[in-house]
Amino acid sequence: MRDSMQDSTDSLSKSEEIPAPVAETEDGLPAIPGKRYFTIGEVAELCQVKQHVLRYWEQEFAHIKPVKRRGNRRYYMRQDVLAIRQIRSLLYDQGYTIPGARARLAGEDEHHDSSQFRQLVRQTIRELEDIRTLLKRR
């Protein structure tokens, strides 16, 4: 049994391996993995902000609501990561103040912010295209 498993793994060449997800999004941030929950360390890395900044933003923005479990540890969902990226963009890239970013997000909530959805759709399309390319090679 082991020999047959060894043979099947040895027969895969590097070109046939499943491609890694897109390394970066168009805004230069790492792609968000397809997980349900993320630790504060993972979110800090995905959003390129420090953990203490995330904890501060939780107090300032109602959009960020991590689930707290086991010893008060934070677990963020994908929607939280997208909200944090949007807040990061408003504050760091577009020059908003915290009250200004909060007001901007409140206005967008009324119109159901579609930019997060579009970003998620674009990333999903890229990942599916990578899978399609892989399947065509076989």
Q: Is residue 35 part of a domain?
A: yes
Domain count, the chain: 1
Q: Is residue 38 part of a domain?
A: yes
Across the range 82-107, mean pLDDT stands at: 92
pLDDT tens across 44-68, in order?
999 999 999 999 999 999 989 999 9
Q: Is residue 7 part of a domain?
A: no
The two structure tokens encoding residue 2: 């082991």
Q: Is residue 11 part of a domain?
A: no
- Cα dihedral sign, 124-69-43-58: positive
pLDDT higher than threshold 70 for residue 3: no
Q: Is residue 107 part of a domain?
A: yes
Instruction: State the CATH number of the domain containing residue 103.
Output: 1.10.1660.10
Which burial class, exposed, middle or buried, applies to 25 when counting CB atoms under 10 A from its CB (0-12, 13-18, 19+)? Answer: middle
**Amino acid, res. 2:** R
Q: Is residue 99 part of a domain?
A: yes
pLDDT higher than threshold 90 for residue 6: no
Q: Is residue 76 part of a domain?
A: yes
Which burial class, exposed, middle or buried, applies to 86 when counting CB atoms under 10 A from its CB (0-12, 13-18, 19+)? Answer: buried
Please give the residue range of the domain that contains residue 84: 26-112
